[in-house]
Structure 1
Amino acid sequence: MVDRVDFRILGPLEVAVGGHRAAVPAGKQRVLLAGLLLRSNEVVPVEDLVEWLWGEGTPRCPRGALQTQVARLRRWLAQFAAGAPQAAVPQAALHASAAGYLIEVEPGRLDLARFRDLIDAAAGAAGRGDLEAESVLLGAALAQWRGPALPDVRSDALHRDAVPRLTEEWLRAVERRGEAALLLGRHQEVVGELRFLTGSRPFHERFWYQLMLALYRCGRQAEALAAYRDVRARLDEQLGISPGQELRALHEAILRNDPALDRSAALVG
């Protein structure tokens, strides 16, 4: 039986063989591997890789320095392949072109690719009106994440240019899973997670909207109103702004016990 090799970037950078983590290169090779995996199976321009590896401290001969790091990473991949059990690799290969470098990763071997495939499948289920399947697929997609992306990769430029985009993808998936749960009538099940999300991302108004609606549908109107006061105070004290129109409208609807809030249609898209 061939052992499965997984590359993981949705959390700390990991390479795992048969479920067991392997030692990953340190320093510049770690940054290079992470950057290539972020855009697996496509050419990453030399300029981007140089920026991610050295930032403002670009070496005198950046292409030559990059070639050195690529050669070292290629040697690590070869040594990894030689030492992996059951001929687990090749699962990835490094290729060079005039424009940059590409890491070729086999289907199903990278957590980011699995996440995006599951998100696409969830969107397909939503298009068919199958909320239950969408919810399951979104849960499977989010299960690919083990925490913030690449906290152990030391590159200010990478965390500035690439990681925020991944975070946005995660946020959209979490938002949509919450909306699907509310549309399915699972308001009691999501209150705890939404309290955590509003605590960890206090300026993300969509999570507050979902929390207020979930609390109201659980018969906890006072807590829903308290949540609005909380977010309003946070936004005012720390950003000097007021809640957006959606939150204000939901607050007013809760105050008047609007019957529409008890229907799935009340969830604003």
Structure 2
Amino acid sequence: MSQSLTFRVLGPLSVHSGTRSLDIPGARQRILLAALLVRFNQVVPVDELVDRIWGESPPHRPRRALHTCITRLRHATAGQDERGLIRTSHSGYAIEVAPENLDLARFTQLLDEARAAARREDPVAEHRALDRALALWRGRALPDVESDSLHRDVVPRLHEQWIWALERRGELALRLGRHHEVVGELRALTVEHPFHEPFWQLFVLALHRCGRRSEALLHYAELAGRMREELGVEPGSRLRALHLAVLRDEVGTPAADNPPARRAVS
């Protein structure tokens, strides 16, 4: 009996059949697969797929060329899934996958669980769901898929969801008193995203709550200096307010104790 395929797009594109990695030959077939997976269980129009694969240089007969790519992709996955994965409609193509067989689908599902927990005012459950969602990521989405269109239209949205989940998990960790557990991770995030102020606010606040006031002030000064030198701007008002609260050692004030609120990404 054949095994269902599992797909991963939250990092390099990969396909597995059981424990075996499945090779998808050809750059165009890989772009096509990625374009279908990021719109899983939806019909993706022909024009959109052509744009994802060929961009501003489409072939003379784009539908025929796309059909050839579909045929080759189906051949590459032949015998791996009894139901067949790629469905054809009058307007385009769809790939049908269960949430457990696609990391993006599972990530989306877990973000929904986190939002539901937030509505119930259950920070423990929300933190747990976000932790599981973020564990699915293996780096930037689809770095090995050479599609300008995907990296312009799709990857930034996925990255925004990832950043939001990181921020929200950090905020919840501080709310739950886990500052000692997350201070190292928050420091790493400020290194990876040197001008992303919400990560800095969480990091400075975590240091403050760990009793490392002088380090919190030092790292704020590091950020402020870099922003002035490289961007010609000062840190934002929330971060400045936090710095002032830490400077005055005003533990328990709203500025010191409230992490950055950020609207959930849909």
Same fold (TM over 0.5): yes
Q: After TM superposition, where is structure 1 displaced by more than 3 Å over at least 4 residues in a row?
A: 1-4, 261-265
Deviation at 1:201, TM superposition (A): 0.7
The aligned counterpart of 2:64 is 64
1:52-131 mapped onto 2 (5 Å cutoff): 52-78=52-78, 82=79, 84=80, 89-90=81-82, 93-131=85-123
AA matched with 1:258: E
Give me the CA root mean square deviation. Answer: 2.0
Please point out which of 235, 239, 249 is paired with 1:243: 235
Q: 2:134 corresponds to which residue?
A: 142
Contact 2:6–2:101 (8 Å) recurs in 1: yes
* Per-residue CA distance 1:123-152 (angstroms, 9 max, x = gap): 112222221121111111111111111111
What's the CA shift string for 1:209-228, capped at 9, x where partnerless?
A: 00000001111111111111
Checking the alignment, whether the CA contact within 8 Å between 1:260 and 1:266 is kept in structure 2 is no
Q: Which residue of 2 aligns with 1:219?
A: 211
Contact 1:10 1:145 in 2 (8 A): yes
Deviation at 1:61, TM superposition (A): 1.9
Q: Structure 1 CA distance, aligned partners of 2:52 and 2:23?
A: 22
Partners of 2:36 and 2:95 within 8 A in 1: yes
Shift of 1:2: 7.2
1:46 matched residue in structure 2: 46
Match of 1:258 among 250, 256, 259: 250
Question: Kindly tell me: are residues 177 and 90 of structure 1, through their superposed partners in 2, closer, same or farther at Cα, counting changes over 3 Å?
Answer: farther
| Offset at residue 47 of structure 1 (A) | 2.1
Task: Give me the TM-score of the superposition, normalised by structure 2.
Answer: 0.91
Query: Structure 1's 146 and 236: CA in aligned 2 closer, same or farther, altered over 3 A?
Result: same
Shift of 1:27: 1.0
Identity %: 52
Determine if contact 1:6/1:17 at 8 Å carries over to the other structure: yes
Shift of 1:260: 1.9
Q: CA deviation at 1:262?
A: 8.9
Q: Give the structure 2 partner of residue 179 of structure 1.
A: 171
Corresponding residue SS for 2:93: strand
**Amino acid paired to 1:167:** H
8 Å CA contact 1:183, 1:264 repeated in 2: no
C-alpha contact (below 8 Å) 2:201/2:260 kept by paired residues: no
Comparing 204-213 and 137-146, the one that deviates more: 137-146
Change (3 A) 1:126 1:2: farther
**Structure 2 spans left out of the alignment, 5+ residues:** 262-266
Aligned length: 261
Alignment partners' CA distance in 1, 2:211 and 2:171: 18
Aligned position for 2:147: 155
Structure 1 Cα separation of the partners of residues 83 and 243 of structure 2: 52
